[in-house]
Structure 1
């Protein structure tokens, strides 16, 4: 971070949907957006809707210019090859924060980049990403999995708080199981909603998604409440000798 004001120059590479959302959230917290990697067409339109007048640049340019580099890929299988290619090119900048957003990985895959002086962070928001401004609101109601070496873990946690979210620390070795939980909840929800709205559509119900919206939200809220039972402490007897 800048020694003067604690603000960072943030760049985004990888062309995923979440990276520009995080950049927009950090911009709202006062950080400067260096630029975003984006292709022509719908992808660029989506990025510019979130970040008007943002600089579109190549991955190499953004690595060179960014104090905080966010790597957000559209396919988890492409994350490690991208990191390896940048490492082989010796593209990293010493002292640079490098944060990826994949649920299933901690910071181990950034290991070789450490030799070039980067500070590795892994942050994954537990939201179903759309790539739109809607995600900014959802971030303010979300938890983010954070994984980082202990000395720099507070940096990852602070960035999450600046996004308006809450950090939850996930150990490096537990990231695959965390990703499994996220995928299970996301895939199951989409599948059940598609099945239920399909049945209503078959019997002629117009806009079945709206019809089920309150039910699905309340059922999810109740299920989540059941997963977090409130523990009531027994009252203390004032005459108890303890």
Structure 2
């Protein structure tokens, strides 16, 4: 069975910025939400997912055919192992994590109980709001799954709006480093530049830099992708 052949009962463990957004995206694709764990801001979760039961992680896992785990990096292995010890995983259940740095090994305790391990990392900076649903439609997602189940991982990435790119476990460290470099370096450079502009007496330095930073990043991305549409345009069009 692939994700497109039937609707799944989806539970989410992790109610920070990522989990509720992916729940909303999967609901928009026609899946039925079962429950989500409680987070630090239940009002925000209720605003995005009105009426969805907030339960503990064991109950979320036991009620769901697809369990999306969106928790901090350091919590993932222990959470999966702990739920395995409580017999929360079952054969045929889909267990999906969203961490860029963990591959399928983090889900081994669930896989040992017969669950199907999947990794889907949407490559966006989540805000935890409905704006992320639009951002997902322009994003790629790093995906992984055991060979026979890779089409399911790819289909789920497509259903949340992303273009899937397969990342093997052997490539996971390089992938995670690339994601961390792009996000942390970008933030630190912008902060440094806005601080310098503020020292120079520029009001609203963030607004001042907005067009410059966006255009610079777009040019850098075009340079990194020589097959892009921009490079394919005739020279005359670029001069217009």
- Which of 68, 71, 74 pairs up with 2:69? 71
Work out which of the two has the higher radius of gyration on C-alpha atoms and give 1 or 2.
Answer: 1
Instruction: Give the alignment's TM-score, normalised by structure 2.
Output: 0.90
Cα distance 1:3–1:45, how it changes in 2: closer, same or farther (>3 A)? closer
What's the CA shift for 1:86?
0.8
Query: Which residue in 1 is equivalent to 2:237?
Result: none
Q: Deviations over 1:116-146 (max 9, x none)?
A: 1101100001111111111111100000000
Cα distance 1:200–1:2, how it changes in 2: closer, same or farther (>3 A)? closer
CA distance in 2, matches of 1:208, 1:149: 47
What's the CA shift for 1:199?
1.2
CA distance in 2, matches of 1:66, 1:212: 45
Q: Which moved more, 1:15-24 or 1:160-169?
A: 15-24
What's the CA shift for 1:46?
2.1
What's the CA shift for 1:88?
1.4
What's the CA shift for 1:3?
10
Residue 44 (str. 1) matches residue 46 (str. 2): no
Instruction: Give the secondary structure class of the aligned counterpart of 1:30.
Output: coil
Instruction: Give the alignment's TM-score, normalised by structure 1.
Output: 0.90
Q: Deviations over 1:1-49 (max 9, x none)?
A: 699961011100133321111110011111111111013xx52122122
Query: Which residue in 1 is equivalent to 2:89?
Result: 92
Moved over 3 A (4+): 1-5
Query: Which residue in 2 is equivalent to 1:19?
Result: 19
Query: Which residue in 2 is equivalent to 1:34?
Result: 34
Residue 156 (str. 1) matches residue 156 (str. 2): no
Cα distance 1:81–1:105, how it changes in 2: closer, same or farther (>3 A)? same
Instruction: Give the secondary structure class of the aligned counterpart of 1:167.
Output: strand
**Structure 2 alignment gaps of length 5 or more:** 233-240
Does the CA-based 8 Å contact 1:63-1:93 persist in structure 2?
A: no
Q: Which moved more, 1:21-30 or 1:195-204?
A: 195-204
CA distance in 2, matches of 1:93, 1:214: 50
Instruction: Give the secondary structure class of the aligned counterpart of 2:164.
Output: strand
Structural RMSD (CA)? 2.0
Does the CA-based 8 Å contact 1:2-1:8 persist in structure 2?
A: no
Does the CA-based 8 Å contact 1:14-1:72 persist in structure 2?
A: yes
What's the CA shift for 1:163?
1.1
